[in-house]
Chain A
């Protein structure tokens, strides 16, 4: 009976998740009347708007990842090493983006950094890009922090730091040559999650009026029939590729295997 229930639950889950995906993929292949074709995908991929917005979002994702690593790795390391009593506070702060909607954050940014403020970031395209990157980093913070913190938990941060210090290493060397390489798998997990978030993000990019992939998907969805489905499949594939890469990185990292 229990076994039957388990199979039933599994089947319901598969139907719930896979059926819409199948329906969407099947629809995206029906652009040419009567036969299956990749016309919708071709139309999306050759669209200069797609290339421009996707390229923009990829660059933004890379900057967001770099900023996230620079912010989160030293912070999580320092909290673990010197201020373990502050861990719950820092964890709470990093969780805030999950409970504060992106629209609230972006309106806060616009109010604080508008052209009449002391730091008028929205006054230029570059300034707005920087603001958007900070916004993306905020949205990805819960995932990045948790991934890095989990990575740090698998190594003896205190002893490794002291061992490196006794060999003459300063903080920069310790972070770049000892800590970061040992949590690289965790950092890359956070990086891929950040990448997936940035590629699909709509609210911040739309409200800051930047040519990102999220608003492009929305515009396409409002005006075309088959292309939005093709685009959704592409976005879905990118997200799953990121998840696959997380698995690969963890599996093929020699010293990560040793810690497992």
Chain B
């Protein structure tokens, strides 16, 4: 049996159904990300797990115990907030000790645990400082230590990295993942940043309109999106219309070139058009020996992003993005030039509405 189960969760605010029939099983020690745009219901799901919102319908169990009707302060969960939420009147050490104090832990135990937690986040020498004397990244690390100090059964992270600058965000997310793996704590992470979700999650739940559109490992979500929404929301996508030549073998034609799609047999008849998509990295500049097809594209824009160069081009009647690695000895194509682009049918993603 799963450690944390959400069964047919529903949440309605007035006439607005924010979460619809949401079911999810999470294993012990798993790191799950709820990913989706603003208003998709991901934070509401998290808040229902935390006990801050009461589900309109459905059940939540933690370690086999039904906690659906339990108050937030009786659920033994740890939570990190976007706005840090450190208690401004307390020092760092007092903040970390707060949960233990509330539980009535003896002073010696509290002090030992605070020292352990501060060492874990690398802020052992800042225990006497007040939150306002810390940087945003340090405050959020203290918030992590505070959440973990009372040994919660589940850790909930409500967009904890959103308020931080890019560099701190990357280092803190790696630290969170490291600590989560070391402690083996079951974690739910809410974010709208797909790169963040893909880099640290065991599984991602992509949400849209209160519904879990797809649940899967980051590799699966990115490379095999089940719906158009998932494909568009996670990563950049180039879409094409292809004509079905042979549904049984998955053969289609694009700009007169024959390609074989991976999901044969196709649910379409010969002569029909299908919507398919390709990730920018699946379009490769130049003639590639392993590619199925070679097309000519007109470069319309060039974005130099350091290690990667993203080109915008017109290809087979579609505006596409394609990525190529930077090479110091090869300057990028100029705008207006014609380039050869290699592609293969096996990289195509068949889009469902």
Contacts and interface: CB of A to CB of B under 8 A. Distances in A.
Q: Do A and B bind each other?
A: yes
Interface of A: 155-156, 159-160, 162-170, 173, 177-178, 181-182, 184, 254-255, 257-259
Contacts of B218: none
A159 B81 contact: yes
Contacts, number: 77
B102 A169 contact: yes
Contacts of B330: none
Contacts of A160: 85, 87
B73 A163 contact: no
B211 interface: no
Contacts of B15: none
A179 to B, nearest CB: 10
B77 interface: yes
Interface of B: 50-52, 71-74, 76-79, 81, 83, 85-89, 98-99, 102-103, 130-133, 143, 146-147, 150, 156
Given A160-B85, A182-B89, A170 B73 contact: yes
Contacts of A155: 88
Contacts of A255: 88-89, 130-132
Nearest to B102: A168
Most A-side CB within 10 Å, residue of B71, B77, B88, B132: B88
Q: Looking at chain B's contact residues, is the secondary structure mostly helix, strand, loop, or mixed?
A: mixed
B72 A162 contact: yes
A167 B146 contact: yes
Contacts of A159: 81, 83, 85
Contacts of B52: 162, 165
Given A162-B50, A166-B147, A182 B78 contact: no
Given A166-B50, A258-B131, A178 B72 contact: no
B88 A182 contact: yes
Nearest to A254: B130
Contacts of A181: 89
A239 B81 CA distance: 43
Contacts of B50: 162, 166
A169 B103 CA distance: 8
Most B-side CB within 10 Å, residue of A166, A181, A257: A166
5 contacts: A160-B87, A163-B87, A166-B50, A166-B147, A259-B132
Given A165-B52, A167-B102, A168-B99, A258 B79 contact: no
Contacts of B71: 165
Given A163-B86, A184-B89, A257-B132, 18 more contacts: A156-B83, A156-B85, A160-B85, A162-B79, A163-B79, A163-B87, A165-B51, A166-B50, A166-B78, A167-B98, A167-B102, A167-B147, A167-B150, A168-B74, A254-B130, A255-B130, A258-B88, A259-B132
Contacts of B147: 166-167
Contacts of B86: 163
Given A156-B85, A182-B89, A259-B88, A166 B102 contact: no
Contacts of B79: 162-163, 166
Contacts of B88: 155, 182, 255, 258-259
A184 B76 CA distance: 30
A162 B81 contact: yes
Nearest to B131: A258
Contact of B72 (A166, A173, A177, A182): A166
Contacts of A169: 73, 98, 102
Most B-side CB within 10 Å, residue of A164, A165, A182: A165
Contacts of B74: 168
Contact of A163 (B81, B132, B133): B81
